[in-house]
Chain A
C-alpha cells in the first residue's frame, strides 16, 4: 500500500468509524470514498453513503454492468475507484430503457463518478469500464450515495 493511501485510509477511518478494515483491504474503495467525502459532508442536503459496496476485476477494455433499483425523485452519486493509481476507468448510468442518463460524470486519475436524478422508478444499469489497465487486470470498487 502506498504511504499516501495509508494516511488517507486512516483519515477515512476517523471520518467514517467502522470502515477501517474495509478501507485497508481495498485500495479502490479508499480512493472512491476519498472522492465521495465532499458530497457526503456538504452542509446543504448532503448525500447519504450506503455502507455496502461492490468490487471485482476487469480485463483491458472490460465492462461490468450492475443492475440497481433507483427511485423517482432521488438523487444518486456513484463513485468507482481502481486499486492501481495508474489505472483508469469510467462509470455511467443507463435508465430502464437503456438510455444514458448521467446528470454529471467525470474521470479523475484512478477514480470516476456519475450522478443521476431518477425520473422514473425502476431497474437502472451502472456500467463500469476499464480504460487503462497497467497489470493483467484492474481491481475496482464501487459505492454510492443518495439523497
Chain B
C-alpha cells in the first residue's frame, strides 16, 4: 500500500472511530439508569405549560385569575403557608400576563412584595417587583414575565441562603398547584381529549410529593397542608395519560377540584 493510501485509510479509520466514540447513544436504558446519576427533577415555570396551552388555542385566561381576592390575602399564616401562597401568587402573575391584565399584574406585584416581607426576603424581590409594577402600567408583558421568574428565583435563593430549603420547595409547590388548576380549568372549558395530554406529569407530581413528605411534619401542619396532602394523593394517579394517551374528562374535573381546594383554603386562611 502506498504511503498516501495508507494515510488516507488511517484518517478514515480515525474519523469513523472518533465519531463512533463521540456520538450519543440513540437509546437510554431507563431501567438501568443508576439512581445517583440522576441529578435533579426540574420543576417548570407555569409560563412553560401556559405557552404550550396557548398554542392549542386555549386563551380564556381571565377565567383563571384570582382577581380582587388578592387584595385580602391573610398575612398571619405560618411561614410554610406563606411560602406556598407566595408561589401561588407568582403563578397567578403568569396567568395575568397570559390574560394581558395590567390590574391583576399590579395586584400580584404588590402581594409578592408583602408576602416576601413576611418571609424576610423583601430586599431580594424589591427591584423585581418595582419593574413588575412599572411594566404592568406600560403593558410590557415580556418584562413582567421575566421579572416574575427573577422574583421567584430571588426568593428561592434567599431562602436557601437562610437555610430554608423547605420553604423554597413550598414556593415551587404553590406555583405548580396554581398552574395545574389554571390548566385543568382551561382544558375543561372545551374538553378535547388530545389536548389533555398537556397535564401528563406523573414523575413531576411524584417528585413534588416526595419532597413534600420529606419536610419536617411541624412545617406542614394545619388545614391548608391537610388539603395539600389530600390533593397530592388524589392527583398522583390522575396526572398520567391512559393507554390512549389522554386524561379523561372526569379525571380532569377531579384534578381541577382538588387543586381548587388547596387554592381556596390558602385564600381563606
Contact = CB atoms under 8 A, between A and B. Distances in A.
Interface of A: 18, 48, 50-52, 54, 56, 63-74, 90, 92, 94, 97-100, 102, 105, 118, 120-123, 125, 127, 129, 131, 146-147
Contacts, number: 117
Interface in B197-256: 197-204, 207, 245
Contact of B28 (A64, A69, A98, A102): A98
Nearest to A18: B150
A35 B146 CA distance: 19
Contacts of B150: 18, 51
A99 B24 CA distance: 11
B27 A146 contact: no
B40 A123 contact: no
Given A67-B40, A69-B201, A121-B197, 9 more contacts: A51-B153, A52-B149, A54-B42, A69-B41, A69-B43, A71-B52, A73-B55, A100-B27, A129-B24
Contacts of A125: 28, 30
B120 interface: no
Contact of B41 (A67, A71, A90): A67
A51 B197 contact: no
B38 A65 contact: yes
Q: Which bracket fits the contact residues of B?
A: 35 or more
Nearest to B152: A51
Given A52-B153, A100-B25, A121 B42 contact: no
A132 to B, nearest CB: 11
A66 B40 contact: yes
A129 B43 CA distance: 22
A99 B40 CA distance: 19
B42 A68 contact: yes
B29 A54 contact: no
Nearest to A97: B30
Interface of B: 22, 24-30, 33, 37-45, 47-49, 51-52, 55-56, 127-128, 142, 145-146, 149-150, 152-154, 156, 197-204, 207, 245
Overall SS of chain B's interface:
helix
A90 B149 contact: no
B44 to A, nearest CB: 5
Most chain A CB atoms below 10 A, which of B25, B29, B245:
B25
A131 B22 contact: yes
Contacts of B38: 65-67
Contacts of B22: 90, 131
A65 B24 contact: no
Contacts of A100: 24-28
Top 3 nearest A-B pairs (CB, nearest first) are A71-B52, A98-B28, A123-B203
B59 to A, nearest CB: 14
Given A74-B51, A100-B27, A127-B28, A121 B200 contact: yes
A6 B25 CA distance: 37
A101 to B, nearest CB: 10
Contacts of A48: 47, 142, 145-146
Contacts of A66: 38-42
